[in-house]
A and B are shown apart, each in its own frame.
Chain A
Amino acid sequence: AQSVAQPEDQVNVAEGNPLTVKCTYSVSGNPYLFWYVQYPNRGLQFLLKYITGDNLVKGSYGFEAEFNKSQTSFHLKKPSALVSDSALYFCAVRDGSSGANNLFFGTGTRLTVIP
């Protein structure tokens, strides 16, 4: 079975500081991992994904994520947070090897960047 855990409901960070939003996953086969962002009263927007290759993937708005197979993690990072980064962030996983093509989401982490 596939699952995603986002251990922090809320992350607060000062503007200009680095930010990390944590995600761990569980899949039977190869993990395909995704990060999405949701602004108030909006749908989810795709940020970045890991499929294969380099463990550090770069995405939109200066975000990047590091895939760690041994720790089954895919943490979202940004070197310098902006107030406009304040939003709800979701990690998602799909089994890249077999089974249904479902995309499973974590419960979300609310990021607040403090001016």
Chain B
Amino acid sequence: NAGVTQTPKFRVLKTGQSMTLLCAQDMNHEYMYWYRQDPGMGLRLIHYSVGEGTTAKGEVPDGYNVSRLKKQNFLLGLESAAPSQTSVYFCASSKGERSTEAFFGQGTRLTVV
């Protein structure tokens, strides 16, 4: 049981380049989330999804887009990368009840130069 898998684990982008981060979960979870982690700021929610075909904005959505075409996958896109998007990105998933904990992937370390 792999849990939550993020691809890639590391990436270096040049300013203005685009990329997509892939998150896959095999737990049949309804909810999926993308967070970014920056020193001293904890985890901030970028976008989330409460089910296949649905997405919603979190705290810091600007510069990012997401898609959830399949229940098990949640994609995070950067259309035109900026140095301010240098961060560690975490995907998480949880069952569709508020009382359940989220399960996290191992993270993607992205550097934009």
> Residues of A at under 8 Å CB distance from B?
6, 9, 32, 34, 36, 41-46, 49, 51, 90, 94-96, 100-108
How many of chain B's residues have a CB under 8 angstroms from any CB in A?
Answer: 26
The answer to whether B106 touches A103 (Cβ under 8 A) is no
Distance to closest chain A CB from B107 (angstroms): 6
The CB with the most chain B CB atoms within 10 A, among A6, A36, A103, A107, is that of A103
The answer to whether A107 touches B41 (Cβ under 8 A) is yes
Q: Which residues of B contact A9 (CB under 8 A)?
A: 40
Q: Tell me which residues from 31 to 51 in chain B have a Cβ below 8 Å from any Cβ of chain A.
A: 31, 33, 35, 40-45, 48, 50
Chain B 65-104, CB-CB to A under 8 Å as 1, else 0, gives 0000000000000000000000000101010001101111
Q: Which residues of B contact A44 (CB under 8 A)?
A: 43, 90, 92, 104
Question: Of B42, B48, B104, which one neighbours A102 at CB under 8 angstroms?
Answer: B48
Q: Which residues of B contact A51 (CB under 8 A)?
A: 99
The answer to whether A95 touches B42 (Cβ under 8 A) is no
> Residues of B at under 8 Å CB distance from A?
4, 31, 33, 35, 40-45, 48, 50, 56, 58, 90, 92, 94, 98-99, 101-107
Residue of A nearest to B45 (CB): A102
The CB with the most chain A CB atoms within 10 A, among B4, B40, B104, is that of B104
With A101-B31, A106-B42, A107-B42 already in contact, the answer to whether A42 and B101 are too (CB < 8 A) is no
Distance to closest chain A CB from B105 (angstroms): 5
The CB with the most chain B CB atoms within 10 A, among A95, A105, A106, is that of A105
The 20 sampled A-B contact pairs (Cβ below 8 Å) are A6-B42, A9-B40, A36-B104, A41-B106, A41-B107, A42-B106, A43-B90, A43-B104, A45-B104, A49-B99, A101-B50, A102-B33, A102-B48, A103-B33, A103-B92, A103-B94, A103-B102, A106-B42, A107-B40, A108-B42
